[in-house]
Amino acid sequence: MGKRESYTLESASPPVPMFKKILIANRGEIAVRVMRACREMGIPSVAVFSDADRASLHVLKADEAYHIGPAAATESYLKFEKILEAAKRSGADAIHPGYGFLSENAKFAQACADAGVKFIGPVAAAMELMGSKTRARQHMEIAGIPFVPGTSRGLDSGEQAAQVAEKIGYPIMLKAAAGGGGKGMRLVHGPEGLASALESAKSEAQRAFGDGEVYIEKAIVNPRHIEMQILADEHGHTVYLGERECSIQRRHQKVLEESPSPIVNPDMRGRMGEVAVRVAKAAGYTNAGTVEFLVDQEKNFYFLEMNTRLQVEHPVTEQTTGLDLVHLQIRIAAGESLPFRQEDIGVRGHAIECRIYAEDPDNNYFPSPGKIMLLLAPSGPGIRRDSGMYEGWTVPIEYDPLLAKLIGYGTDRTQAISRLVRAMHEYFVGGIKTNISLFQRILRDPEFVAGNVDTGYLDRLLKTSAPAAERGDAGVAVIAAGVFEMLEPMGSSLAAGNGSAASAVSGWKRAARTEAVSNT
């Protein structure tokens, strides 16, 4: 990557017509994120929603909204016909899939093309190739990309799995071919655990992706997980935008990501970036994508898979490159050329993202849906919050527990960390449990502060007991308990958690306005 230069986002190629209207086939924070980009670009946005999401934030933020069915995703957010019908009714000429749901479904991309609606993402053929982790491995083998040993085909039987595992040696990793986000993935230490792990990985994959194909990879013990963001236009230009360190995971679900990685220097970034661009070109890839690598202790990197969509953690790249990836996705899909070259792209400062999940840290991180009774949101220098929640909203049980992302940016890693520590102190979500306290712990942990993380880091941290909190303010809590009881008694209707339907609605409106003003 070259030094940072000023450049204009205006395309050098002749102006192409922009979309008239964009439908966002998603929900939660990412739907809100994409709608914000649409509004910034002057493009009307269309929300779709299930029964469980009528009052969700993305419906409040959209210009138009269409109901697409019951709460179960298979009957709503995963239903091609319903989404395409909403596109037709609204007159949307493009669909942004967000992440998850249909974002990596090549058949859906093809169905969009057939319906004359632009899918904001790669073409179906590239998705099909990369969307199947097994086919991607076969293809990259031919292109000479370094990757982790294992099968390049799905497993037919338990016996076959046992043979392959024996050959490459335990520990092995079972992975859903259609997978992502840790679903349908199991680490197996020895033959005795293989059969049950295979069965549960298959059933979870079937449930999550409608495809039970599972393959085997040799497990590299405690690797780092580092990924490279790429952008490719439809005129043959492909660039990389720097890496994201995503090693901090719990049950294969990313929890905290940062850019740049503490261990990647400009030389390594250049080499990884070039491989990532080669992967994308080999697949005929267009639009935004992410090439994931496993990095071993000697800093060798292996191609893992390509995510053919916008990633949850894209904001850290936006903060360090100064680019808006959703704007660029839309412009690329509209047919514009990339408005910069590789040497124009620079990485400046440091960004860290914390994923705020509805989970109970005191109860083994069980999901904790429910009504958000109180929401105090952080702001201030270097803080970005991409949120899908608001006070008074009930977090539904049907979907992913990701509520919001808090991103800290600073001139260097130390400043980014201290800003996040400060912001976490300001952040309060009452009524449901969240993992905010986990970040208080990670961000202060000496190993994290030193940048010594790998994919086993979080499990190790959680095995140690949390440093005992200073409980010196018990007297203050006593006084507060009494003052609360006098000013706002627990039984009073003003303070009651479950008000009438009418007051709940006005609470939603109020909270939505507050969010709109304070979300930066």
**Residues recognised as catalytic:** 309
Question: If binding is defined by CB under 8 A, does position 425 make contact with another protein?
Answer: yes
Among 393, 399, 409, 448, binds another protein (CB under 8 A): 399
- Residue 430-449 contact track with another protein, rule CB under 8 A, x = bound: xx-----x--x---------
Number of residues that bind another protein (CB under 8 A): 53
The CA-based diameter of the chain, rounded to the nearest angstrom, is: 73
Name the pairing type of β-strands 45-49 and 22-24: parallel
Shortest separation between residue 300's beta carbon and another protein, angstroms: 32
For the CA atoms of 489, 493, 496, 500, the dihedral, rounded to the nearest 10 degrees, stands at 180
Task: Give the E-state strand segments of 370-485 in sequence order.
Answer: 370-371, 374-376, 383-387, 394-395, 402-410, 428-430
Shortest separation between residue 253's beta carbon and another protein, angstroms: 8
Coil/strand/helix, residue 247:
strand
The enclosing H or E element of 350 equals strand 350-357
Name the pairing type of β-strands 94-96 and 118-119: parallel
Q: What φ, ψ does residue 216 adopt, rounded to 5°?
A: -115, 140
Among 379, 428, 451, 500, binds another protein (CB under 8 A): 428
Q: Which residues ranging from 248 to 267 are in contact with another protein (CB under 8 A)?
A: 251
For 56, residues 6+ apart whose C-beta sits below 8 A from its C-beta are: 27, 28, 49, 388, 393, 396
Among 482, 500, 505, 513, binds another protein (CB under 8 A): 482
Which CB, 320 or 387, lies closer to another protein? 387
Which CB, 142 or 481, lies closer to another protein? 481
Cβ atoms of 316 and 413 within 8 Å: the answer is no
CA distance to 61, 87, 387, 471, per residue, from 315 (Å): 20, 27, 12, 36
- Residue 149-188 contact track with another protein, rule CB under 8 A, x = bound: ----------------------------------x-----
Question: If binding is defined by CB under 8 A, does position 517 make contact with another protein?
Answer: no
Rg (CA), the chain: 23
Q: Which residues ranging from 84 to 123 are in contact with another protein (CB under 8 A)?
A: none
Which CB, 185 or 291, lies closer to another protein? 185
Shortest separation between residue 250's beta carbon and another protein, angstroms: 11
Taking the CB of residue 4, how many other CB atoms lie within 10 A of it?
13
For 487, residues 6+ apart whose C-beta sits below 8 A from its C-beta are: none
Among 9, 480, 505, 516, binds another protein (CB under 8 A): 480
Name the pairing type of β-strands 350-357 and 301-307: unpaired
Shortest separation between residue 32's beta carbon and another protein, angstroms: 19
Angle, helices 325-333 vs 314-321, to 10°: value is 100
Closest CA to 463 of 347, 364, 315: 364
Which CB, 239 or 511, lies closer to another protein? 511
Shortest separation between residue 204's beta carbon and another protein, angstroms: 6
Place of tokens 């040497």: 343
Cα separation, 95 vs 48, in Å, equals 11
Q: Which residues ranging from 293 to 332 are in contact with another protein (CB under 8 A)?
A: none
- Indicate the DSSP class of residue 287: E
Shortest separation between residue 477's beta carbon and another protein, angstroms: 4
Among 142, 481, 501, 502, binds another protein (CB under 8 A): 481
Shortest separation between residue 184's beta carbon and another protein, angstroms: 10
- Residue 193-222 contact track with another protein, rule CB under 8 A, x = bound: -------x---x--xx--------------
The interface region with another protein, picked from 292-300, 306-314, 448-456, 472-480 by CB under 8 A, is: 472-480
Among 16, 477, 505, 516, binds another protein (CB under 8 A): 477
Question: If binding is defined by CB under 8 A, does position 466 make contact with another protein?
Answer: no
CA distance to 26, 51, 127, 201, 306, per residue, from 147 (Å): 32, 43, 19, 22, 12
Shortest separation between residue 13's beta carbon and another protein, angstroms: 42
Taking the CB of residue 268, how many other CB atoms lie within 10 A of it?
16
Question: If binding is defined by CB under 8 A, does position 499 make contact with another protein?
Answer: no
- Residue 336-375 contact track with another protein, rule CB under 8 A, x = bound: ----------------------x-x--xx-xxxxx--xx-
Cα separation, 177 vs 210, in Å, equals 11
Shortest separation between residue 259's beta carbon and another protein, angstroms: 27
At residue 269's C-alpha, the angle toward residues 264 and 272, to 5°, is: 115
Which CB, 142 or 469, lies closer to another protein? 469
Which CB, 11 or 437, lies closer to another protein? 437
Chain contacts with another protein (rule: CB under 8 A): 183, 200, 204, 207-208, 251, 358, 360, 363-364, 366-370, 373-374, 376, 397-401, 424-425, 428, 430-431, 437, 440, 469-471, 473-488, 490, 494-495, 497
